[in-house]
Amino acid sequence: MPKNCVDTKNYEKIKVIFTEKQREQKSLKHPELREKDFIKRVKNTIENPDFIYEDLAKKSRLVYYKYEYSLNSRARYTKIIVKKQNKFLFIITAYRPDFVKERNKTKLIYGEDN
């Protein structure tokens, strides 16, 4: 099995890595991380985010969002939390929430959150 399940570059051309070990660990809480299709969405969100916020809990982290679809008038997103280490970004976790927790609470770093 590959060491990294995601190894790509973000919109600023900074390398972003999601290790297989981290994916397995976080999939216990977020079962969507067990789906290959969701891993493709993670990669797409890193490469083409709709918007990025500072993390609410730790300002040293960033939160990438990509709008996916609406279900019963509730938007669904792919959400990815990344942390910078050295010259790379490492994915801490990813999941599919139905709201933007950081909206109006932290700084919008990139894009537009409508």
Give 55-74 pLDDT, tens digit per residue: 998 988 999 999 999 988 89
Domain count of the chain? 1
Q: How many CA atoms lie within 13 A of 112 on its CB side?
A: 1
Sign of the CA dihedral 56, 92, 66, 77?
Answer: negative
Neighbours of 72 (CB within 10 A): 5
Domain limits for position 23: 4-111
| pTM score, whole prediction | 0.93
Which stretches in the chain have pLDDT values below 70? 1-2
Q: Which amino acid appears at position 87 of this protein?
A: K
46 vs 79: CA distance, rounded Å: 10
The residues with which 70 forms a beta bridge, in sequence order, are 75
Asked if 12 and 73 touch (Cβ cutoff 8 Å), the reply is no
Q: What is the pLDDT of residue 41?
A: 97
Q: What is the pLDDT of residue 2?
A: 58
